[in-house]
């Protein structure tokens, strides 16, 4: 995530622009849009984000740049052969409760982004349907974690599951959409 700003700076940027979502949620929405097949070189995502986060109002240039950075980073990491995709969450220096709340926000954002573009859940594979069902459960996660090694490990296992699941959705739908779009244009 080296391309992304510090999480706290990202939070301050969003708040300064009166966008009341967490950086985790914003990253989740963009990841969900891409994982369900939003065309990779599509500028549509800024319009969708402004509809969702800003009542359809245009973003300031610093926000456009911030969302553009996230978008490019997610595209690059989804397409990375080494599966370098990672969630944008509060750092490990934050409390487990803050990290867990960040995870829940990210997953809720992913579900929102995914749902904005994916209208035909009947055509999803059993694996993707299971991911969506699991993600729905994760949005209801009890985030009152104790600061113990055991709770830390449990949270990081859920984060890793979410990370791999997002990659699975992209592998199945994100890349598939690209070929379908190409095929449709040939007709």
Q: Does the pTM exceed 0.75?
A: yes
How high is the pLDDT of residue 47?
86
Q: What is the CATH number of the domain that holds 154?
A: 1.20.120.740
Q: How many domains does the chain have?
A: 1
> 161 in a domain, yes or no?
yes
> 2 in a domain, yes or no?
no
Write the CB contacts of 142 (distance below 8 Å, at least 6 apart in sequence): none
> 1 in a domain, yes or no?
no
Structure confidence by residue, pLDDT tens digits, 70-107: 999 998 898 888 878 999 999 988 999 999 999 999 99
How high is the pLDDT of residue 118?
79
pLDDT above 90 covers what percent of the chain?
A: 61
Distance from the first to the final alpha carbon of the chain: 40
Place of tokens 């984000």: 49
> 184 in a domain, yes or no?
no
> 123 in a domain, yes or no?
yes
> 187 in a domain, yes or no?
no
For residue 157, give Cα distances in angstroms to 109, 166, 168.
Answer: 19, 14, 16
The answer on pLDDT for 140 being more than 70 is: yes
Provide the pLDDT confidence category of residue 148 given band limits of 50, 70 and 90.
Answer: very high
Please give the DSSP secondary-structure letter assigned to residue 121.
G
Structure confidence by residue, pLDDT tens digits, 12-29: 999 999 999 999 999 999
How high is the pLDDT of residue 43?
72
> 185 in a domain, yes or no?
no
How high is the pLDDT of residue 116?
85
> 133 in a domain, yes or no?
yes
Structure confidence by residue, pLDDT tens digits, 29-63: 999 999 987 776 667 788 889 998 999 898 999 99
Instruction: Print the domain residue range for 45.
Output: 7-178
How high is the pLDDT of residue 142?
87
């Amino acid at each position: 995530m080296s391309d992304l700003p510090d999480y706290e700076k990202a939070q301050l940027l969003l708040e300064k622009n009166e966008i009341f979502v967490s950086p985790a949620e914003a990253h989740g929405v963009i990841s969900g849009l891409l994982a369900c097949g939003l065309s990779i070189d599509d500028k549509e995502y800024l319009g969708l984000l402004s509809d969702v986060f800003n009542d359809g109002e245009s973003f300031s240039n610093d926000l456009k740049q911030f969302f553009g950075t996230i978008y490019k980073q997610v595209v690059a990491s989804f397409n990375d052969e080494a599966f370098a995709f990672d969630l944008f969450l509060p750092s490990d220096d934050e409390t487990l409760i803050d990290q867990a709340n960040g995870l829940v926000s990210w997953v809720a954002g992913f579900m929102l982004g995914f749902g904005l573009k994916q209208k035909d859940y009947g055509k999803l594979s059993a694996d993707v349907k299971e991911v969506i069902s699991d993600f729905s459960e994760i949005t209801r996660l009890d985030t009152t974690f104790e600061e113990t090694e055991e709770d830390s490990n449990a949270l990081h296992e859920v984060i890793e599951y979410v990370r791999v699941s997002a990659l699975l959705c992209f592998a199945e739908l994100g890349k598939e959409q690209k070929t379908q779009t190409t095929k449709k244009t040939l007709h």
